[in-house]
Amino acid sequence: MNKKTKWGIIILVGAGIIGGGIYSQLPKKNDELAAADKVMGGNQKKGKQILNVNAKVIKPQLLTDEFTTTGVLLPDEEVDLSFETSGKIVEINFEEGTPVKKGQLLAKVNDRQLQAQLQRLVSQLKLAEDRVFRQDALLKRDAVSKEAYEQVKTDLATLNADIEIVKANIELTELRAPFDGIIGLRQVSVGTYASPTTVVAKLTKIAPLKVEFSVPERYAKQIKKGTNLNFSVEGTLDAFGAQVYAVESAIDPNLHQFTARALSKISDMHTLTVRALYPNSNGSILPGRYVSVHLKKEEIPNAIAVPSEAIVPEMGKDKVYLYKSGKAEPVDIITGIRTASEVQVIRGLHVGDTIITSGTLQLRTGLAVTLDNIEE
């Protein structure tokens, strides 16, 4: 055996060993997995033939067309309390966060100088009145001139006017509640020098509350004084009733509605500001909170309505699928108003029809379906 033949045998043996090692690492056919795949494939074919769906039987119902927007609660009245004159505060007669009555004395600045002026003027009043009385008696006997009598009358009137001026200035040293309300946190202390720009506290009237919100221009004619509405406060499930009492006199082109959908229409960028009153008799709701406002635009009795998810838009038309003898049958419909979850059907459906409400994107004409749940 020559040298070339030996090397040829060695190479063949080596290649055989390497090939056997590679073959041993290749995945083997798994008969069990193949059988399972065959079963799954059969089940998928069956699933395409029969679709499990939910359905609803059409019944006449009351359909309410509502408009929802965002608003804010405002106090009926609110004012920063301050003195109308300057001086050192000598009295504070309220507790923070408590109710106060209209006219109640809340605070006072030093008025000793004014009181002294008042006392001096009042002490002169009796003498001035006596002079007028004497001059009047003398005038009746022609003992004095008419001019002398008129002079003492003028002096008395001037004195009375000076007294009223001082009394008015004394009243300016008193800070009284302009209306019933809840007084807020105190911003000053006894001894503080107050001026007309010094805020003593905030007074807020929270019964009733104002509900302020904006509606798109297209709803302007539907909102008027006396319109009833409901609103809900974030964090609660309760609904509160209010009534519109005022509408802004002009459309505001600068306010924007709160949803992207509204902003997609130019008309929705022009809004009308509206205010409603909520009694808030027990003062349980505080102003400043944001609320969801619900306005009923229209109520339709005996309406035919379907869930929004049951409608399939196709080629510019709307259609739903009816359940008939185990199969899905499409029918074109004409829709009316839309609510949050339902759509009014004006034409195409009748009371007693059974519509399919799930799996609508998989439905085809004549597709066999099985009802898992039916709402009657």
Domain of residue 277, CATH code: 2.40.30.170
User: Are 148 and 88 part of one and the same domain?
Assistant: yes
User: Are 215 and 237 part of one and the same domain?
Assistant: yes
Look at the chain and report how many structural domains it folds into. Answer: 3
pLDDT at 136: 87
pLDDT at 15: 55
Q: Is 138 exposed, middle or buried, given 0-12, 13-18 or 19+ CB atoms closer than 10 A?
A: middle
Q: Give the bridge partners for 330, in sequence order.
A: 321
User: Are 145 and 222 part of one and the same domain?
Assistant: no
User: Are 245 and 322 part of one and the same domain?
Assistant: no
User: Are 142 and 166 part of one and the same domain?
Assistant: yes
User: Are 272 and 241 part of one and the same domain?
Assistant: yes
How confident is the chain (376 residues) per 10-residue block, as mean pLDDT? Answer: 56 56 47 38 51 93 87 97 97 97 97 96 94 89 88 95 97 97 97 96 97 89 90 88 93 56 51 94 92 87 93 91 93 89 92 93 91 88
User: Are 89 and 197 part of one and the same domain?
Assistant: yes
User: Are 182 and 91 part of one and the same domain?
Assistant: yes
Residue 26 included in any domain: no
DSSP state of 365: T
Residue where a domain terminates, one of 201, 234, 264? 201
Strand (E) or helix (H) holding 300:
strand 290-303
pTM over 0.85: no
User: Are 87 and 196 part of one and the same domain?
Assistant: yes
b vs e for 177-211, b when ≥16 Cβ sit within 10 Å of the residue's Cβ?
beebbbbbebebeeeeebeeebebbbbbbbbbbbb
User: Are 293 and 352 part of one and the same domain?
Assistant: no
Residue 22 included in any domain: no
CATH for 354 = 2.40.420.20
Residue 1 included in any domain: no
Strand (E) or helix (H) holding 180:
none
User: Are 286 and 326 part of one and the same domain?
Assistant: no
Residue where a domain terminates, one of 166, 181, 201? 201
Q: Which domain does 225 fall in, by range?
A: 67-76+206-300
Query: 77 phi and psi, to 5 degrees?
Result: -145, 145
Q: Is residue 329 within 8 Å of residue 109, measured between CB atoms?
A: no
Residue 18 included in any domain: no
User: Are 134 and 280 part of one and the same domain?
Assistant: no
